Structure 1
Amino acid sequence: MTTSVMAAPPGVSPVRSRSLAAVLIAVGVPMFMVTLDNLVVTTALPVIRESLGASLADLSWFVNAYTLPFAALLLTAAAIGDRIGRRRLFVAGIALFTLASAACALATEPWMLTAARAVQGVGGAMVMPLSLTLLAAAVPERMRNAAIGIWGGISGLGVAVGPVVGGAVAEGLDWTWIFWLNVPIGLLAIVLVRAVLTESHGGRGRLDPLGLVLISTGMFALIWGVVHGEDGGWTSLSVLGTLIAGGVLIAAFVAWERRAPAPMLPLRLFRSRAFSAVNVVAFLFSVGVFGSVFLLAQFFQVVQGLGPFGSGIRTLPWTAAPMVVAPIAGLLVGRVGSRFLIVLGQVLLGAGLLWVALGTAVDVGFGSLAPAFVLAGIGMGLTFAPLSTVALASVDRDSQGVASGTMNMVREFGVAVGVAVLASIFAAHGSYATPSSYVDGLVPAVLVGAAVVGGAALAGLLLPGRRHYLTTPNSSY
Structure 2
Amino acid sequence: MTTRDQQSSVVEPLSPVREDRPRRAGALALTAVVACQLMVAVDGNIVNIALPRIRSGLDFSPGGLAWVFSAYSLAFGGLLLLGGRTSDLLGRRRTLTWGLLAVVAASLLGGLAPNAGTLIAARALQGAGFAFAAPAALSLLAVTFAEGPERHRALGVFSTVAGLGITLGLILGGLLTALSWRLVFFVNVPIGLAAVLLALRHLPETPRHPGRPDVLGALTSTAGTGAVVYGLIHASAAGWGSTATVTALLLGAALLAAFLLGQARAARPLVPLTLFARRDRSGAYAVFLLLFAAMGGTYFLLSLYVQDGLGLSPLTAGPAFLPLALAQFAAARSAPGLIPRHGARPLIATGAALLLADSLWLATTGPHTGYWGGLFGPLLLLGAGLGLAFVPLNTTILAGLAPAETGAASGLLQAVQQLGLSLGVAVLATVHGRAVHGAAHPARADLAHGLATAVTAAAAFSGLAVLIGLFVITRSQKGN
* TM-score in terms of structure 1 length: 0.88
1:304 aligned counterpart, secondary structure:
coil
Judging changes above 3 Å, is the alpha-carbon distance between structure 1 residues 74 and 188 closer, same or farther for their aligned structure 2 residues?
same
**2:274 paired with 1:274:** no
d(CA) in 2 for partners of 1:113, 1:437: 29
CA contact 1:101–1:179 (8 Å) conserved in 2: yes
**2:171 paired with 1:164:** yes
Q: Identity of paired residues, percent? A: 36
1:437 aligned to 431, 446, 454, which one? 446
Q: Which residue of 2 aligns with 1:366?
A: 371
Q: Which moved more, 1:272-281 or 1:293-302?
A: 293-302
Judging changes above 3 Å, is the alpha-carbon distance between structure 1 residues 272 and 364 closer, same or farther for their aligned structure 2 residues?
same
CA contact 2:237–2:433 (8 Å) conserved in 1: no
Q: Which residue of 2 aligns with 1:10?
A: none
**2:180 paired with 1:174:** yes
User: Alpha-carbon deviation of 1:203?
Assistant: 5.6
- Counterpart AA for 1:318: L
d(CA) in 1 for partners of 2:368, 2:170: 23
2:243 aligned to 237, 244, 248, which one? 237
Q: Which residue of 1 aligns with 2:42?
A: 36
Q: Which residue of 2 aligns with 1:449?
A: 458
d(CA) in 1 for partners of 2:190, 2:284: 36
Q: Which residue of 2 aligns with 1:475?
A: none
**2:157 paired with 1:146:** no
User: Alpha-carbon deviation of 1:123?
Assistant: 0.5
- Counterpart AA for 1:94: L
CA contact 1:357–1:444 (8 Å) conserved in 2: yes
Which structure 1 segments of 5+ residues have no match?
Answer: 7-14, 472-477
- Counterpart AA for 1:365: G
Deviations along 1:379-432, whole A, 9 cap, x unmatched? 111122222211111543322221121122122222222222222323333355
User: Alpha-carbon deviation of 1:282?
Assistant: 1.0
d(CA) in 2 for partners of 1:185, 1:244: 40
Q: Which moved more, 1:19-28 or 1:70-79?
A: 19-28
Q: Which residue of 2 aligns with 1:347?
A: 353
- Counterpart AA for 1:465: R
Judging changes above 3 Å, is the alpha-carbon distance between structure 1 residues 399 and 226 closer, same or farther for their aligned structure 2 residues?
farther
**2:473 paired with 1:463:** yes
2:363 aligned counterpart, secondary structure:
helix
Judging changes above 3 Å, is the alpha-carbon distance between structure 1 residues 295 and 111 closer, same or farther for their aligned structure 2 residues?
closer
Judging changes above 3 Å, is the alpha-carbon distance between structure 1 residues 208 and 371 closer, same or farther for their aligned structure 2 residues?
closer
Which structure 2 segments of 5+ residues have no match?
Answer: 1-15
Q: Which residue of 2 aligns with 1:107?
A: 113
Q: After superposition, where does 1:410-425 map in structure 2 within 5 Å?
A: 410-425=416-431
User: Alpha-carbon deviation of 1:280?
Assistant: 1.2
CA contact 1:69–1:121 (8 Å) conserved in 2: yes
- Counterpart AA for 2:176: V
1:73 aligned counterpart, secondary structure:
helix
User: Alpha-carbon deviation of 1:90?
Assistant: 0.8
RMSD: 2.7
User: Alpha-carbon deviation of 1:440?
Assistant: 2.1
Q: Which residue of 2 aligns with 1:379?
A: 385
